[in-house]
């Protein structure tokens, strides 16, 4: 009888302990918590300490081996993929992160990630291209049931939070509880491979793939490195950084090998954490407050103070631009006059005034003509309303004036550069110029490949 009683007591406490353990479900320290959208992107370091919701106020349910609050949805969904975030300025990079979670205001969202992923000084002083490849190893998706709307969560507010909504300033609320609430999150592990390069007009997606695969083996299809070699010493204008979230982080260092990667990934099921957001993950903290006056105070402070104080960083002032002509070659220059007089020049105009010209084209009789690579540097517009009109013109020398007039009409490229400068300027362009031969009815084709870049 005594043994039976002891067994019953043991069984009773075992059930209690088991039940307590089962409530420690994945994401219980993430879902419903306050978040600072000006901190890091999808990182527990930006989750606030004080609770907003009290889940003991709702009933529970069984979800597999876990006991979870009835308003939580927990789904096991293991997946692996690569997510790209990029921008030809740090502002564009920030916007790319913000858009992924439906943050649409013009503010420096997730500034913490921009500053930790890249050299802070480069954000202010250079025109650079930025990209982060997020190697995501996802395990769980956790969500709050916000039907019919987010105000449905008001009945679960933490009592201390409710009192402080009435007694504390908006500044205090945002500082201690965050700007938003996490209502959906992806849990697992993530490695961020961040890359930046000073823009010279030649930065391409293949360049990024080459650098990241060369150092880490990180590609669209996954990780494939075998020896974890360091950055090539010739990459003087490039920066590459690695950041690890979740998994067995102790096994990771800057020279990541495939063995280290596999060890890290194997530890993710037992070390899952906030790994990423969806476009429905974050809602404003005031959206679960029923008092209209408090809602307005919080909303006004966020829009009129926080967004302004966390404005986008000023773009580096660009004073000089260069138009770089990568290649010009003249086709069909052997017809009639061109066979005998096929000598061409490239002229450069600013606001209608010729400022420079190339040497005559090279080539032998009976062959196409070409120019060496060249560039023209000019002052960039630096004030609102300013613009620069630049023009490239290919002309033929030593031929009748009517040929030159025809070339002057048809054989030119015109660029209107306005302030503020568009990032599109720094992408390679391509144009074809055509010239009719008015004597023989033949044409001469000048193929011009060119791009704009910040002058060194």
Cβ distance 79 to 189 under 8 Å? Answer: no
For residue 119, is pLDDT > 60?
A: yes
Please name the residue ranges forming H helices in 182-291: 205-215, 258-266
Q: d(Cα 381, Cα 129) in Å, to the nearest integer?
A: 21
3-class DSSP assignment, residue 60: strand
Section 118-139 average pLDDT: 78
Q: Which two tokens stand for residue 326?
A: 């990568």
Instruction: Say which residue, 224 or 130, is predicted with more confidence.
Output: 130
Cβ distance 67 to 19 under 8 Å? Answer: yes
Q: d(Cα 106, Cα 128) in Å, to the nearest integer?
A: 20
Section 258-263 average pLDDT: 88
- Domains of the chain, by residue range, sit at 11-309, 320-454
For residue 254, is pLDDT > 80?
A: no
| Per-residue pLDDT, 418 | 78
Q: For the chain, what percent of residues have pLDDT higher than 70?
A: 66
Band the pLDDT of 346: cuts 50, 70, 90. confident
For residue 329, is pLDDT > 60?
A: yes
Q: d(Cα 344, Cα 85) in Å, to the nearest integer?
A: 45
| Per-residue pLDDT, 87 | 85
Q: Which two tokens stand for residue 263?
A: 């060890």
Q: What's the pTM value of the predicted model, to 2 decimals? A: 0.67
For residue 92, is pLDDT > 70?
A: yes
Instruction: Say which residue, 16 or 264, is predicted with more confidence.
Output: 264
Q: Which two tokens stand for residue 133?
A: 């490849």
Band the pLDDT of 440: cuts 50, 70, 90. very low
Q: d(Cα 23, Cα 69) in Å, to the nearest integer?
A: 9
- Tens digits of per-residue pLDDT, 151-203? 999 999 999 999 999 999 999 999 999 999 999 999 999 999 998 887 655 55
Q: Which of 292-301, 326-335, 389-398, 438-447 has the weakest average pLDDT?
A: 438-447
Cβ distance 254 to 242 under 8 Å? Answer: yes
Q: d(Cα 379, Cα 318) in Å, to the nearest integer?
A: 9
| Per-residue pLDDT, 411 | 57
Torsion of CA 402, 404, 409, 412, to 10 degrees: 170
CATH number, domain 320-454, options 1.10.10.10, 3.30.465.10, 2.60.40.150, 2.30.40.10: 2.60.40.150
- Tens digits of per-residue pLDDT, 407-439? 444 456 677 787 766 655 554 444 544 444 444
Residues in a beta bridge with 190: 136, 245
| Averaged pLDDT score across all residues of the chain | 78
Q: Which residue, among 281, 48, 32, has the nearest Cα to 154 in the 3D structure?
A: 32
Section 86-114 average pLDDT: 91
Section 363-370 average pLDDT: 57
């Amino acid at each position: 009888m005594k043994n039976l009683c002891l067994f019953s007591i043991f069984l009773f406490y075992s059930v209690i302990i088991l039940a307590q353990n089962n409530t420690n479900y994945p994401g219980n320290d993430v879902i419903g918590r306050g978040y600072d959208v000006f901190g890091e992107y999808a990182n527990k370091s930006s989750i606030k300490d004080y609770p907003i919701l009290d889940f003991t106020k709702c009933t529970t349910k069984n979800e597999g081996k876990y006991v979870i609050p009835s308003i939580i949805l927990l789904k096991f969904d293991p997946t692996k993929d690569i997510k790209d975030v990029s921008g030809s300025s740090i502002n564009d990079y920030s916007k790319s992160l913000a858009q992924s979670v439906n943050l649409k205001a013009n503010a420096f969202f997730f500034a913490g990630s921009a500053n930790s992923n890249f050299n802070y000084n480069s954000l202010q002083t250079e025109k650079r291209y930025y990209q982060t490849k997020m190697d995501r190893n996802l395990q769980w998706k956790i969500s709050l049931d916000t039907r019919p709307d987010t105000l449905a969560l008001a009945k679960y507010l933490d009592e201390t939070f409710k009192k402080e909504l009435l007694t504390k300033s908006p500044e205090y609320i945002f500082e201690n509880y965050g700007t938003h609430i996490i209502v959906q999150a992806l849990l697992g592990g993530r490695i961020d491979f961040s890359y930046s390069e000073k823009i010279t007009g030649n930065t391409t997606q293949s360049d990024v793939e080459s650098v990241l695969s060369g150092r880490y083996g990180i590609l669209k299809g996954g990780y494939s490195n075998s020896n974890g070699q360091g950055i090539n010493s010739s990459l003087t204008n490039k920066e590459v950084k690695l950041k690890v979230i979740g998994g067995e982080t102790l096994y990771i260092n800057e020279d990541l090998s495939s063995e280290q990667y596999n060890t890290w990934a194997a530890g993710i099921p037992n070390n899952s954490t906030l790994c990423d957001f969806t476009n429905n993950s974050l809602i404003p903290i005031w959206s679960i407050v029923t008092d209209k006056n408090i809602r307005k105070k919080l909303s006004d402070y966020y829009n009129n103070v926080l967004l302004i104080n966390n404005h986008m960083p000023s773009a580096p002032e660009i004073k000089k631009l260069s138009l770089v002509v990568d290649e010009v070659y003249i086709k069909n220059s052997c017809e009639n006059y061109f066979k005998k007089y096929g000598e061409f020049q490239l002229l450069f105009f600013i606001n209608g005034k010729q400022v420079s010209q190339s040497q005559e084209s090279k080539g032998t009789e009976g062959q196409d003509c070409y120019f060496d690579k060249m560039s023209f540097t000019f002052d960039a517009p630096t004030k609102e309303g300013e613009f620069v009109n630049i023009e490239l013109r290919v002309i033929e020398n030593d031929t009748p004036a009517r040929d030159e007039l025809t070339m002057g009409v048809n054989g030119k490229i015109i660029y209107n550069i306005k302030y503020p400068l568009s990032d599109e300027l720094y992408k390679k362009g391509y144009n074809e110029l055509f010239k009719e031969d008015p004597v023989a009815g033949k044409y001469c084709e000048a193929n011009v490949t060119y791009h704009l870049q910040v002058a060194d």
